[in-house]
Amino acid sequence: MKPKIILYIASSLDGFIARIDGSVDWLDKYSESGQDYGYREFFESVDTVIVGNKTQKKFPQKYGDKTCFVFSRSSEGTDGNITYVKGDVKEFMKKCKLQGRIWLVGGADLIDQFLKYGLIDEFIISMMPEILGSGIPLFKTMDLTRLKLVKSTPYGNVMQVHYKK
């Protein structure tokens, strides 16, 4: 069965995932709120995690027992369940023959590469009521249409939208 790549991410209301310097201090109050925005259920539903190295460096995580691939041109090898990989993302998907549900964590650089190949099947975006004015945009590629709304879930002040290709 074809693997499913799912982007699960938090965005400011004006479409940024981090400030220009990469900081996500504006998300702190949400992670400290006690609300998990469906994270645990989502995390348990995925088999594999794919991350860009800037994100991994910012949030060094092992992602439990999930198979984890970190894209990097500067690091290689393995670290527990993490394998550093590089190169064209479509080639990687072909070569690795991944199965099941794959969480594409981000950041924007990696998302853009998967998006350009039309490899992202689902988008789960938590829209945080924050207007940053500038930062790292969630999407760089502009030509993405025909998404179907699967669900919208309010978590207090936050609206989480779930779209499928």
Ligand X SMILES: NC(=O)c1ccc[n+]([C@@H]2O[C@H](COP(=O)([O-])OP(=O)(O)OC[C@H]3O[C@@H](n4cnc5c(N)ncnc54)[C@H](OP(=O)(O)O)[C@@H]3O)[C@@H](O)[C@H]2O)c1
Question: Of 1-20, which residues contact ligand X (CB under 6 A)?
Answer: 9-10, 17-18
d(Cα 161, Cα 152) in Å, to the nearest integer? 4
CA distances to 33, 37, 92, 108, 154 from 120, rounded to whole Å, are 29, 21, 14, 13, 23
DSSP 62-87: --TTSEEEEE-SS--EEETTEEEE-S
Q: Between residue 27 and residue 66, which ones bind ligand X under the rule CB under 6 A?
A: 52-55, 58
CB of 18 to ligand X, least distance (A): 4
Note whether 135 binds ligand X by CB under 6 A: no
Residue 73 C-beta: closest distance to ligand X, Å:
3
Q: Contact between 160 and ligand X (CB under 6 A)?
A: no
Number of residues that bind ligand X (CB under 6 A): 27
Residues in region 55-114 near ligand X by CB under 6 A: 55, 58, 71-75, 86-87, 89, 105-110, 113
Neighbouring-strand partners of residue 79: 82
Structure token pair of residue 51: 């991350």
Residue with smaller CB distance to ligand X, 74 or 134: 74
Q: Is 112 exposed, middle or buried (0-12, 13-18, 19+ CB in 10 A)?
A: middle
- Work out how close the CB of 137 gets to ligand X at its nearest, in angstroms, rounded to a whole number: 9
Which residue is at the shortest CB distance from ligand X?
107
Q: How far is the CB of 42 from ligand X (least distance, A)?
A: 12
CA neighbor of 122 nearest in space, from 162, 69, 66, 161: 162
